Amino acid sequence: MRLSEARREYFRRRAREEGYLSRAAYKLIQIDDKYRFLSKGAKVLDLGCAPGGWSQVASARVTDKGLVVGVDLSPVSFKARNYLFVKGDISSPQTLQLIRESSSSFDCVLSDLSPKLMGVWDADSSRQVALASEALDITKLFLRGGGTAVFKLFQGETTNEFIGEAKKLFQRVVISKPPASRKQASEIYLVCLGLLADKFAADKEL
Ligand SMILES: C[S@@+](CC[C@H](N)C(=O)[O-])C[C@H]1O[C@@H](n2cnc3c(N)ncnc32)[C@H](O)[C@@H]1O
């Protein structure tokens, strides 16, 4: 077995043993252990949350004093007192309305969004970054000033453009590659700290 497969198998087995719905849960655990944004009482919006690993981690870390709202096209079996699942497309106005009804503002926005892969890297990468850009627009609507956002990005032609946009909106933007993300996988996580709310106050009122 190649090292990357062994690592994937290790996190898959560990997720099964520890009751996580996806091995992706460990990526968020590792990112949050470093940057500490999932604080007790925080309100978190988790975009592209199915099957639910990130939502489980966020729900446990924010505790019952906080709230996690997960959004996905696919269903999620995870249930918790502080968890609300919205089944829908992040591009649809109805989905945005349902998010807004759960909370008008969040302390943290997470995006692990990924399209169905076609196996053609350039196309998959630009579709994934387009989804992340939609998540960035949603972040502008819902994230409070000073808040944190995390975006998965497939590396490709449009990735740097996305990073440039994020840098205009946040005090600090860091590229993270958690150990649970396979070295060979061309995905990175962009950790965006300290939203500069005044930069887009006008957009927010639209
Ligand atoms: C890699 S998975 C997320 C894994 C998740 N973070 C976890 O820990 O279980 C990516 C998700 O993005 C969702 N997705 C893709 N496009 C979407 C869209 N337009 N609206 C909502 N969800 C979408 C997919 O359905 C898929 O479940």
pLDDT one-digit tens code per residue, 132-144: 999 999 999 999 9
Sheet (strand 67-72) strand order = 83-87, 67-72, 43-47, 106-111, 143-154, 187-195, 170-176
Enter the pTM of the model.
0.94
| β partners of residue 150 | 110, 191
Helix axes 3-18 and 25-35, enclosed angle (nearest 10): 90
Reported as a single tens digit per residue, the pLDDT across 27-75 is 999 999 999 999 999 999 999 999 999 999 999 999 999 999 999 999 9
Q: pLDDT value at position 4? A: 72
Residue closest by Cα to atom 20 of ligand 1: 89
Q: Where are the domains positioned within the chain? A: 24-204
Ligand 1 within 6 A of 91 CB? yes
pLDDT at 182 over 80: no
Instruction: Categorize the per-residue pLDDT at 198 as very low, low, confident or very high, splitting at 50, 70 and 90.
Output: low
**89 CA to middle of ligand 1, Å?**
10
pLDDT (average), residues 135-156 = 97
pLDDT at 3 over 70: no
Name the CATH superfamily for 24-204.
Answer: Vaccinia Virus protein VP39 (3.40.50.150)
pLDDT beyond 70 at 114: yes
Helix (H) or strand (E) holding 3: helix 3-18
Cβ–ligand 1 distance for 11 under 6 Å, the answer no
